[in-house]
Structure 1
Amino acid sequence: MAASDRNALLDMGFSTNKVDRALAATGNAGLQPALDWLIAHIDDPDTEEPASSSAPEPSAASDSQMTDAHDGEITAEEATAQSLRCDECGKLLRNAAAAEFHAAKTQHTSFSESTEAIKPLTAEEKAQKLADLQAKLAAKREAQKAQAAIEAREQERIRRKAGQEMAHMREELKVTEMQKAIEQRKQEKLDEKAARERVRMQIEQDKKDRAAKEATDSINTCVLAKRAAPPLHRRHGRIRRERHRIHRSLGNHVDLTSHILLSHVRHQREAERLASLGQSASPAGATSASIVQPPPSASSSASSSAAKNYTESRLQIRVPDGPPLTTTFKADDTLEAVYQFLAAQRPGSSYKLLQTFPRKVLDGPDRSKTLKELGLVPSAALVAQP
């Protein structure tokens, strides 16, 4: 009978390995236990492996003894003390192995010995069993397919959500970087404005210092001029003496009036020259101790003597492609040092320095001159022209 059950299971579409494992697992208890075992283990991957060699092989004697009986069931002639009945559901089982399989499947625990025989399944019952099995298999496959669709939709939802979160994070990062760039630009503008303000204040301070210096020099010049000019009565006495001297020496042939006027003009020019140089022209040659006299060299000018008091020159260079360049040089530095500084700040470009007032191009021989000689102390504004 086991061979017929095996053929019936093969006809249902089960593989040879699955059928053999089902029969071996149920101890050849019949078609129904084997079907139940196959349904319970339909998704197990190891059911496709060949059954172990220890599984009982169907023999010809057992086939002849179970010709008309259902596998796993007994007849009245075959009833022995080892035949078992499930007291909970009333099902007859051939041996202890079939009882263990039935207990594992149904969780029934009450069994007793029985001598009743189980009728074999008819062709219609086998066909019905096969149809039920196929329906169960189809239902299980549909359930698995529906579960797979649900899992796929859930995975797609998770993927879309992750993509949206990633896009949102990228947008937030972009906004943050833009805000940082704006803040940095604002800070740069504030720093540039503060630098321009410092330069403007320095220029204003230099102008004030220069105006104060010029006022002081003018006051000193006026004082010296007053001290250098002789009093009026002394000039009149000197004129009279000069007139008498000329009259005695030249006689009546020379116009005394012309000589007196020429002498007077000469004395005035001499007094003005001494006053412009800051030198006292008093007869005694004495000057006030509060007035500092410059060196008696007639070739040096008042602006040159004032410039000697400065040891540094603050230059502001306006360039066409950026903010002005402001730096400090020594008064004895040459114009070539300024050109080198400009080349270091603007590499790859060639410029010429222009003085705005009076307008003059500082190039050529001027490069070897010092900033003091060019009149660029204590401060000056230059223009870099390409």
Structure 2
Amino acid sequence: MGDKDTLLGMGFDPARVEWALKATGNRGLQPAMDHILENEGKPVPDLGAITESSSNAMDVDEDEETAMELSTSAEAKSIKCSECGKIFKNTALANFHAEKSGHQSFEESTEEIKPLTEEEKAAKLQELRAKMVEKRAAKSVIDAQENRENEKIRRKANKDMNQVREELKAKEALKDAEQRKRDKLEDAKARAAIKAQIEADKQARAQKAAREKALRDGQPVPDFHASSSTPAAAPAASANSGVKGRDFKETRLQIRMSTGGQPYTTTLSSESPLSAVAEFLAAQTLSVNSDTVQLAQHFPRKNFERSEFSKSLRDLGLTPSAVLIATP
């Protein structure tokens, strides 16, 4: 069985076996095994370049060995490192050991490197496997520590992101609550204004009925202007004082027909012109023509001219709510 088959049978990687044999110039099993063990963590280089350099090294070694054989009486069979005591079969292996260990002192030795026995091969293989297991165990410890650190970083990032989300939710909830509070206050003020307008309409109808009754009975017509106009105006003024000048986006309207019947209600943009109210009425009933309908505000009493139909509800002071009288 050759050195290559022996090394492969010991479980070594084929590429590293080829590298070791070429790097040591096929000088034996022991140098090849030493080369594999010493270069365990290194990548396998280009084997073509190694072949050329190894061949040159072998030529140089053979010349040196021939010269030494001629100049010395004792036959040098190996090269020994004076610093660590390791012996090498050729100068190529000795040079490689010097580069790797930094040792500089070498000497020729007559000690012959004997081939490994089966027991020694098994021991070397067991030693190599033990080193590999130890190396893998150390790498597993490092990988586990890195995984724990990465998990800490990931959890911290998730925690920070969840905290940001919670803060955004809290801000949005606070903003929505404030908006609902404002809307509720505006609705209350608008309802108060409408209620005041309805009360004023009731009082006006009662005064009108009283005047008509006085005329039918031939009695003096009561003067309600001095006694009731101011009290009637007070509730509306009080209701509107809190909303006057506010920038309301929408206007709630109650439109009553002068001919009687159920009133119409709608909500329009405060920027809508008064003509939009006329068009709304025309769409609700056939008795109204948007071009000829007349609109008036009962309180405070005001008849809107056709020239004012192009003005917005905000400019006409109808926001946030108003009651209009329509005459077809």
Q: Give the TM-score taking structure 1 as reference length.
A: 0.45
1:26–1:97 contact (8 Å) kept in structure 2: yes
How far off its partner does 1:99 sit? 1.9
How far off its partner does 1:181 sit? 0.9
Provide the aligned C-alpha RMSD in A. 5.4
Aligned equivalent of 1:13, options 8, 11, 14: 11
How far off its partner does 1:182 sit? 0.9
How far off its partner does 1:161 sit? 3.8
Partner Cα distance (1:154, 1:370) in 2: 80
How far off its partner does 1:167 sit? 3.2
Partner Cα distance (2:98, 2:108) in 1: 17
Q: Is the counterpart of residue 133 in structure 1 residue 133 in structure 2?
A: no
Cα deviation digits, residues 17-60 of structure 1 (max 9, x gap): 2201122234445444433432344455x53x88327627999x
How far off its partner does 1:188 sit? 2.1
2:79–2:88 contact (8 Å) kept in structure 1: yes
Partner Cα distance (1:193, 1:27) in 2: 102
* 5+ residue gaps, structure 2: 59-72, 212-217, 226-235, 240-249, 270-280, 303-321
Cα deviation digits, residues 298-333 of structure 1 (max 9, x gap): xxxx99xxxxxxxxxx9x9xxxxxx99358x9xxx9
Amino acid across the alignment from 1:5: D
2:251–2:268 contact (8 Å) kept in structure 1: no
Partner Cα distance (1:335, 1:27) in 2: 120
Partner of 1:90: 85
Partner of 2:146: 151
Give secondary structure in 1 for the equivalent of 2:164: helix
* 5+ residue gaps, structure 1: 63-75, 219-271, 279-301, 304-313, 317-322, 347-352, 354-362
Partner of 1:290: none
Partner of 2:301: 378
Equivalent residues in 2 for 1:325-364, closer than 5 Å: 325-326=252-253, 342-343=265-266, 345=268
How far off its partner does 1:144 sit? 2.8
> What is the number of residues matched between the two proteins?
238
Partner Cα distance (2:19, 2:121) in 1: 20
Partner of 1:259: none
Aligned equivalent of 1:116, options 110, 115, 131: 110
Relative distance call for 1:324 and 1:55 in structure 2 (3 A) is closer
Equivalent residues in 2 for 1:20-59, closer than 5 Å: 20-28=18-26, 30-44=28-42, 46-47=43-44, 51-52=47-48, 55=51
Q: Give the TM-score taking structure 2 as reference length.
A: 0.51
User: Which one has the largest radius of gyration?
Assistant: 1
Give secondary structure in 1 for the equivalent of 2:85: coil
Q: Is the counterpart of residue 104 in structure 1 residue 99 in structure 2?
A: yes
